[in-house]
């Protein structure tokens, strides 16, 4: 090819890279769609053949990751992590430094062998419930929980999808794949340093809600009112479902009628003297006091106790990744009519919403404050896949099944790490056994697999191939050497490390690592350094970036912890800096910088 053609190809690849970073950061499209757009941008112009573009999907790393998702579903359904949570509750007083150490150690240890997002999703309701029961702000525990799940992933090959993706990429480049426990020594150090940081420094920077009830947490005081239906009020005789209050966008939550307490239903009639607890803006209610013949009990502050009754409670529910409500509005779901569940407020990205909720489409990570009977809350979890944020106070539903799943998983880890079976075959066999013996249904197994992540890894692996094939990786390597060569080899390694951390802000960890890897490996070869050391450094850099709450595990605790973006920056920036120093100091101790 001519110099002009090569230059044009490099410019085109860099344009696609910039486009990917922008699209990932805007979050207007899902990561799998962005990845497929990039693949089409490589195949249609003929930069990659279809075989080259799609060979990443046939890599055994895809089989390993898919199998781990299935095994994780079996572990969840068997109640194994519920049992772990019950043991955690006995370790120490909730909120104490000892509890924080125990909780982070347990979560980190579990995450070393399971997807960190799954671990966070399973432990968040338990820890939230324990915190509220103990009178501790969940915000003091949930960010440490998410960080521990991410840190634990640095301990083994299967601890995070980034590790598996990097291992597959370096294997394609002629290096040995990363061993199951090859990174365990430095990973354990990272986990311990992270726990110590959160106990002695991070915990002091975490926000703490001064509210002791959920209505206060969600700033509902100005939306909850107790009113009295006066004689001759036009409300008398009206059905709750189509009353003037309903037309004015007020929701009746509870009726006090004499000595009785009624849970309003659609056919319930308003009677004279009824005391109604309603939700809606008080300022709007003031405008219709005389027209509707009602009086506000201004001397009463409505709180959790007023909204709860025997069998009726208020609770938080989170919209998870696989929830059937993602992308749908509350008016479409009509939860009150279908399930008897009233949505009082919503928390999203640091903001509380208590007005015009029906117009808002639900996103992954949203937390809803709801009021319903306990049995109805379980329906939200079982029918719609939403997670109720409360303590699990039960033993595993099927202890024998739990022991079986754990045994199968441990056997797969041993067979794969000892070389008795290829790692992909070991985990695939474990996943198939879980399905065949009823630990998880085939339908649920397919639902639990994060297909978007698999497409991302397969596609971004192909993008790395394109960077090599077009000379883009070599071009960027020469530029980096020219700029950073005065800093020496360690400075160049540190530069790649920092670049990876920065790229994990707009991109996923795995995508950031796969973008930087081809350039780093080519640079290492040009300097005569050990490319494996650079690859593992980049892999670890992708897992110790806590500056922004864009990691899925952080998104899961964002709502339940009532965090704001700045909270993650304040706590995570210091942890990222400390861990960067630790990893860069120890990296060349465990992996030589120069060929032996």
The tens-digit pLDDT sequence of the chain (596 residues) is 567 777 889 999 999 988 988 888 777 888 889 999 999 999 999 999 999 999 888 888 899 989 998 998 888 888 777 777 666 666 668 878 999 999 999 999 999 998 888 888 888 888 888 888 788 889 999 999 999 999 999 999 999 999 999 999 999 888 999 999 999 999 999 999 999 999 999 999 998 765 556 667 666 666 788 889 999 899 999 998 888 888 887 888 888 888 888 878 778 899 999 998 888 877 777 777 777 788 887 656 666 676 777 678 888 888 877 677 888 888 888 887 788 888 888 888 778 887 777 778 888 788 888 888 877 887 777 778 788 877 554 444 567 788 888 899 999 999 998 889 999 999 999 999 999 988 888 988 888 888 888 998 988 889 988 998 899 988 889 888 888 888 899 999 999 999 999 888 878 888 899 999 999 999 999 999 999 999 999 999 999 999 888 788 888 888 888 888 899 999 999 999 999 999 999 999 999 999 87
Question: In this structure, are residues 345 and 374 in contact, taking their beta carbons and an 8 Å threshold?
Answer: no
Encoding tokens for residue 480?
Answer: 């980096």
Common-topology check for domains 222-300 and 312-388: yes
Phi-psi region of 340 (alpha: psi -120 to 50; beta: other; left: phi over 0): left
Rounded-to-integer distance, Cα 540 and Cα 534, Å: 10
CATH topology of domain 222-300: Alpha-Beta Plaits (3.30.70)
b/e map 499-520, b = 16+ CB within 10 Å: bbbebbebbbbbbbbbbbbbbb
What pLDDT sits at residue 393?
45
Reported in sequence order, the residue ranges of 235-332 that DSSP labels E, i.e. its strands, are: 251-257, 260-262, 275-279, 294-296, 312-318
* Confidence at residue 92, expressed as pLDDT on a 0 to 100 scale: 65
Cross-strand pairs, 367: 318, 347
Long-range Cβ contacts of 50-54 (<8 Å, 24+ apart): 52/462, 52/465, 52/466, 52/469, 53/462, 54/458, 54/462
* CB-based burial, 551-588: b 16+ in 10 Å, e otherwise: bbbbbbbbbbbbbeeebbeebbebbbebbbebbbeebb
- Per-residue pLDDT, 211: 52
Please give the CATH number for the structural domain made up of 312-388: 3.30.70.1450
Q: What is the pLDDT of residue 395?
A: 45
- Token readout for 278 is 């309603």
Q: Which helix (H) or strand (E) holds 367?
A: strand 367-373
Query: If phi over 0 gives left and psi between -120 and 50 gives alpha, with beta otherwise, what is residue 533?
Result: alpha
Q: What is the DSSP letter of 202?
A: I
**Which ranges in 112-160 belong to alpha helices (H)?**
116-133, 139-152
Domain ranges of the chain: 3-27+471-590, 61-211+399-447, 222-300, 312-388
Nearest to 89 by CA among 314, 394, 389, 406: 394
Supply the DSSP symbol for 547.
S
Whole-number pLDDT of residue 212 = 53
pTM of the model as a whole: 0.82
Residue 101 and residue 204: Cα distance in Å, rounded? 15
Distance CA 342, CA 215 (A): 14
Candidates 199, 186, 109, 198; CA nearest to 153 is 109
Cα–Cα dist 368/376, whole Å = 14
């Amino acid at each position: 090819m001519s110099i002009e053609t090569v230059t044009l190809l490099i410019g085109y690849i860099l344009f696609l890279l910039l486009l990917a970073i922008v699209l990932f950061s805007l979050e207007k499209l899902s990561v799998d769609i962005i990845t497929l757009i990039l693949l089409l941008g490589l195949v249609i112009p003929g930069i990659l053949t279809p075989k080259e573009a799609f060979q990443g999907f046939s890599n055994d790393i895809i089989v390993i990751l898919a199998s781990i998702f299935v095994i994780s579903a079996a572990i969840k359904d068997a109640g194994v992590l519920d049992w772990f949570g019950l043991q955690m509750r006995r370790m120490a007083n909730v909120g104490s430094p000892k509890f924080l150490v125990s909780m982070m150690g347990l979560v980190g240890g579990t995450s070393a062998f399971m997807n960190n997002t799954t671990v966070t999703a399973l432990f968040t309701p338990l820890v939230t419930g324990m915190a509220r029961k103990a009178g501790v702000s969940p915000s003091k525990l949930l960010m440490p929980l998410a960080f521990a799940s991410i840190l634990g992933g640095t301990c083994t090959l299967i601890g995070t999808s980034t590790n598996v993706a990097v291992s597959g990429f370096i294997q394609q480049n002629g290096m040995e794949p990363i061993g199951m426990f090859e990174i365990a020594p430095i990973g354990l150090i990272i986990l311990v340093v992270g726990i110590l940081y959160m106990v002695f420094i991070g915990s002091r920077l975490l926000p703490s809600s001064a509210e002791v009830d959920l209505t206060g947490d969600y700033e509902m005081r100005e939306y909850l009112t107790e009113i009295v239906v006066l004689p001759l009020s036009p409300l008398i005789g009206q059905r709750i479902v189509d009353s003037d209050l309903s037309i004015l966008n007020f929701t009746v939550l509870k009726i006090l009628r004499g000595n009785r307490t009624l849970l309003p239903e659609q056919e319930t009639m308003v009677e004279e003297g009824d005391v109604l607890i309603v939700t809606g803006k008080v300022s709007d209610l003031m405008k219709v006091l005389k027209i509707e013949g009602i009086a506000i009990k201004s001397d009463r502050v409505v709180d959790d106790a007023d909204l709860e009754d025997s069998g009726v409670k208020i609770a938080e529910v989170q919209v998870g990744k696989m929830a059937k409500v993602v992308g749908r509005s509350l008016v479409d779901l009509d939860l009150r009519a279908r399930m008897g569940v009233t949505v009082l407020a919503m928390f999203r990205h640091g903001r509380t919403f208590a007005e015009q909720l029906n117009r808002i489409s639900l996103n992954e990570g949203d937390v809803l404050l709801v009021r319903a009977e306990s049995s109805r809350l379980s329906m939200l979890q079982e029918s719609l896949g939403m997670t109720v944020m409360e303590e699990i106070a039960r033993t595993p539903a099927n202890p024998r099944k739990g022991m079986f799943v754990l045994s199968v998983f441990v056997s797969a880890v041993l067979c794969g790490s000892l070389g008795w079976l290829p790692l992909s075959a070991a985990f695939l066999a474990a996943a198939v056994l879980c399905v065949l013996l009823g630990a998880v249904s085939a339908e649920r197994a397919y639902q639990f697999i994060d297909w978007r992540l698999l497409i991302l890894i397969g596609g971004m692996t192909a993008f790395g191939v394109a960077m090599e094939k077009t000379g883009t990786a070599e071009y960027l390597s020469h530029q980096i050497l020219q700029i950073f060569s005065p800093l020496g080899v360690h400075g160049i390694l540190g530069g790649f490390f920092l670049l990876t951390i920065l790229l994990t802000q707009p991109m996923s960890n795995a995508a950031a690592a796969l973008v930087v890897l081809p350039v780093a490996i080519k640079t290492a070869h040009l300097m005569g350094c050990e490319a494996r050391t650079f690859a593992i450094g980049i892999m670890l850099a992708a897992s110790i970036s806590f500056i922004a709450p864009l990691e899925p595990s952080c998104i899961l605790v964002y709502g339940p912890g009532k965090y704001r973006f700045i909270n993650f920056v304040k706590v995570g920036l210091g942890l990222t800096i400390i861990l960067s120093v630790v990893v860069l100091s120890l990296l060349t101790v465990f992996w030589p910088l120069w060929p032996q």
